[in-house]
């Protein structure tokens, strides 16, 4: 099989662009559901899954980490169009069959680490179509759990970025790609929010659906304002924190932020964003923001003591209702925060004072001097 020079990897003019391929009927999603009747996901709908997977133009596959060599168990039509392989040539194989002689081992190692730690990662790597044509693949990989918290699958979405890389003029083109990704992510968050709303109404769990959507919206705000900086691998923490917390203080009188200038790895944004959202939501329901007169101060700093260095975030509530007993730690918000922080390798300390919560959160930020 002939391999083309990756420097010349780009979309061919004699083949429709990926965005122009409009799937009409794809039996793969329905077949996957039939083959896995025992798998269910909180807030999901089988019909919506089939329609979304069949109609999306983004290449998507699922792999099973509970089987030897983590084989692909589902690939939608967009994935088959992207790679040139038929379904029977894909199912049961590990995703490495798309790699070739010029695939860089560095993104492969990042993928391996994300799988071992059950983390989310985004990498660009050189893959090869069935006909031997190389293409640059922007791969988004993440775990999928069932209601019991058990790992069921890894989700992978692929985007052919060959033409983007071929035209990239360092920082300018990277920012253009970030804006395109921002647009795609906004659309993706909108689709997810819509599915959650529909499922909540049809199942009579609108309150739970609203709670999930508030977390999704917090993630969306964090990413929306930081994607332009993502090409450097680091983003300014001040920008992300302001975008996450500003909606909770519309008049600007009950929130103080202190800590401009610190940058953190882009991968930390989801964890930091959701943790701050949970703290803010708790403050609105039970803490300093629940009585209209309380105040929250959020400060952050870099701590260089041990290796690797950490970013330390201090959350301080004052002026709220008196705290007479320590709140229950078994609530969903506590569980979400503790799990996200643990997965990121961080820690959280909560100290309940009479006038409000004091929390100290640490996240590792690597060894670069930012």
CB 112 within 8 A of CB 89: no
| Confidence (pTM) | 0.45
Among 334, 339, 332, which Cα is nearest to 357's? 334
Region(s) of the chain under CATH 3.30.565.10 = 233-364
Q: What is the average pLDDT value for the chain, to the nearest integer?
A: 77
Correct CATH for 6-167 of 1.10.1060.10, 3.40.50.2300, 3.40.50.720, 3.30.450.20: 3.30.450.20
Region(s) of the chain under CATH 3.30.450.20 = 6-167
**Euclidean distance between CA atoms 24 and 34, whole angstroms:** 20
Cis? peptide before 308, omega within 30° of 0: yes
Return all residues near 272 (Cβ < 8 A) that are at least 6 apart: 222, 237, 240, 241, 244, 264, 313, 363
CB 115 within 8 A of CB 65: yes
Percent of the chain with pLDDT over 70: 66
N residues, the chain: 370
CB 45 within 8 A of CB 201: no
Return all residues near 162 (Cβ < 8 A) that are at least 6 apart: 9, 10, 11, 134, 135, 136
Residue 237, classified by CB atoms within 10 Å of its CB into exposed (0-12), middle (13-18) or buried (19+), is: buried
Residue 298 has pLDDT above 80, yes or no: yes
Q: What is the Cα 197 distance to its own chain's centre? A: 20
Q: What does the pLDDT look like over 238-266, one tens digit per residue?
A: 878 888 888 888 888 899 999 877 878 77
In this prediction, residue 49 carries a pLDDT of 57
CATH of segment(s) 233-364: 3.30.565.10
- In the sheet with 356-364, reading across from the earlier edge strand, the strands are 255-258, 295-303, 310-318, 356-364, 347-353
**Euclidean distance between CA atoms 87 and 91, whole angstroms:** 6
Q: Report residue 216 as tokens.
A: 């999704």
**Euclidean distance between CA atoms 139 and 55, whole angstroms:** 19
In this prediction, residue 248 carries a pLDDT of 83
- Helix, strand and coil content of the chain, in percent to the nearest 5, comes to 45, 20, 35
């Amino acid at each position: 099989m002939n391999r083309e020079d990756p420097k010349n990897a780009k979309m061919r003019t004699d083949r429709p662009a990926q965005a122009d391929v409009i799937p009409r009927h794809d039996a793969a999603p329905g077949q996957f559901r039939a083959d896995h009747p025992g798998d269910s996901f909180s807030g999901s709908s089988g019909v919506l899954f089939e329609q979304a997977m069949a109609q999306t133009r983004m290449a998507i596959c699922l792999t099973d980490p509970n089987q030897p060599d983590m084989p692909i168990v589902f690939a939608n039509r967009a994935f088959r169009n992207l790679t040139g392989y038929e379904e029977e040539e894909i199912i049961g194989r590990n995703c490495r069959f798309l790699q070739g002689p010029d695939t860089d081992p560095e993104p492969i190692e990042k993928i391996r680490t994300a799988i071992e730690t059950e983390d989310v990662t985004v990498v660009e790597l050189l893959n090869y179509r069935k006909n031997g044509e190389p293409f640059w693949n922007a791969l988004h990989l993440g775990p999928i759990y069932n209601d019991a918290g058990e790992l069921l699958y890894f989700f992978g979405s692929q985007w052919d970025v060959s033409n983007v890389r071929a035209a990239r003029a360092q920082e300018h083109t990277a920012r253009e790609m970030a804006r395109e990704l921002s647009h795609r992510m906004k659309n993706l968050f909108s689709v997810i929010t819509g599915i959650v709303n529909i499922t909540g109404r049809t199942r009579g769990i609108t309150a739970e659906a609203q709670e999930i959507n508030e977390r999704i919206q917090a993630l969306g705000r964090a990413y929306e304002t930081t994607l332009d900086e993502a090409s450097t691998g680091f983003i300014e923490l001040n920008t992300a924190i302001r975008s996450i917390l500003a909606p909770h203080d519309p008049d600007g009188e009950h929130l103080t932020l202190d800590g401009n200038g610190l940058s953190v790895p882009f991968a930390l944004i989801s964890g930091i964003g959701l943790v701050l959202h949970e703290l803010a939501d708790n403050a609105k329901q039970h803490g300093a923001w629940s009585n209209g007169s309380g105040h929250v101060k959020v400060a952050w700093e870099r701590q260089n003591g041990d290796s690797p260095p950490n970013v330390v975030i201090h959350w301080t509530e004052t002026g709220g209702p008196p705290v007479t007993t320590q709140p229950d730690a078994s609530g969903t918000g506590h569980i979400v925060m503790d799990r996200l922080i643990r997965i990121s390798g961080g820690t959280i300390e909560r100290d309940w004072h009479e006038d409000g919560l004091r929390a100290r959160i640490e996240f590792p930020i690597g060894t670069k001097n930012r």
